[in-house]
Amino acid sequence: MSKLHIFQKVVNVVVYLFFLSTTVYSIVGPAPNDDVIGEGQTYITPSFWIEWVWTVIHLLLGAFVIYQWFEPAHEQAIHGVGWHFVISVLLNAAWLALVKHGHFIIGFIFVLLTASSVSYVFYNLSKNHPATTWCDMILIHAPFSLWHGWIVFSAVVGFFQAFTHVSEDGPGFWSRIFVIIGILFLAGTAIGYVEYKKEKGDLTSAFVIALGLLAVFTNQQDAWIRWFAFAFAILSFLYPARAVVFKKLGRNTDAASAPLLG
């Protein structure tokens, strides 16, 4: 292991601790004022319980920064993830800080930048550094799959935070249409994860988006929005199971043998 690689892994540990501390501070620190909370509400805002996804992501990323020091993880950590872990963490921290202080338009830009960086890791691992062991799957691929699904979902919510507002009278016709389009986009993305290059279906990212849609259902009051969210959450949950069903029925599908993680 070269000195540069050791330095890179040390930096990964440092930025992870920074990431963890900023996220904890955003939860236990001073709450945003009522105006920011009100401005941040949208017709696609999910219930707060979905934030538990962050806990799982942080735990798995913590496992990643430990596992990176072991020889089996070296190639994927250095060349699969690379410096994009540092970049993603810093961008993600900036996005959370901006949103907490009500800078939703700039925050939306940063969530897109975060999504771009995490996407690079997600696709690079999937294409060039596939998991060969359960440790690789759980400690390297899983955190970035979860993070990718979560950041895509967050980007859609961030778009509505930046460019829409809620009304005391409830959503109008066009508000419903745009939210339903957002829901369709998320459900289509979840299906896209499953179908990604057929043999490399990523069920973990799809599950995060499905869970996010379910959280939209439990938080929203408008009947059109909540039931569309519920219907496409169920579709997103059940779609990966079709391969198993087809296999039981004797029908061959390319996705039938898709792994849990790409």
**Residues 50 and 115: beta-carbon distance below 8 Å:** no
Tell me what pLDDT residue 20 has: 85
Tell me if 237 is assigned to some domain: yes
Residue with tokens 């907490």: 100
Give the long-range contacts of residues 253-258, CB within 8 A, separation 24 or more: 254/198, 254/199, 255/194, 255/195, 255/198, 255/199, 255/201, 257/199, 258/194, 258/198, 258/199, 258/200, 258/201, 258/203
CA 179 from chain centre, in angstroms, equals 19
Which distant-in-sequence residues (6+ apart) come within 8 Å of 261 by Cβ? Answer: 131, 137, 141, 142, 145, 202, 203, 204
Residue 244 contacts by C-beta under 8 Å, 6 or more apart in sequence? 256
Structure tokens that stand for 87 in this block: 């970049």
Q: What per-residue confidence (pLDDT) applies to 101?
A: 87
One pLDDT digit (tens) per residue for the chain, 262 residues: 788 889 999 999 999 999 888 777 666 556 566 667 677 899 999 999 998 998 899 999 999 999 999 998 899 999 999 999 999 999 999 998 899 888 999 999 999 999 999 999 999 998 888 888 899 899 999 999 999 999 999 999 999 999 998 888 889 999 999 999 999 999 999 988 888 755 455 788 889 999 999 999 999 999 999 999 999 999 999 887 765 555 555 555 554 444 444 4
Q: How many CB atoms lie within 10 A of CB 1?
A: 11
* Residue 262, in any domain of the structure: no
Angle at 223 between CA 219 and CA 225, to 5 degrees: 65
The pLDDT, as a whole number, for residue 189 is 93
Identify the domain containing residue 15 by its residue range: 3-257
By residue count, the chain amounts to 262
How many structural domains are present in the chain?
1
pLDDT at 19: 87
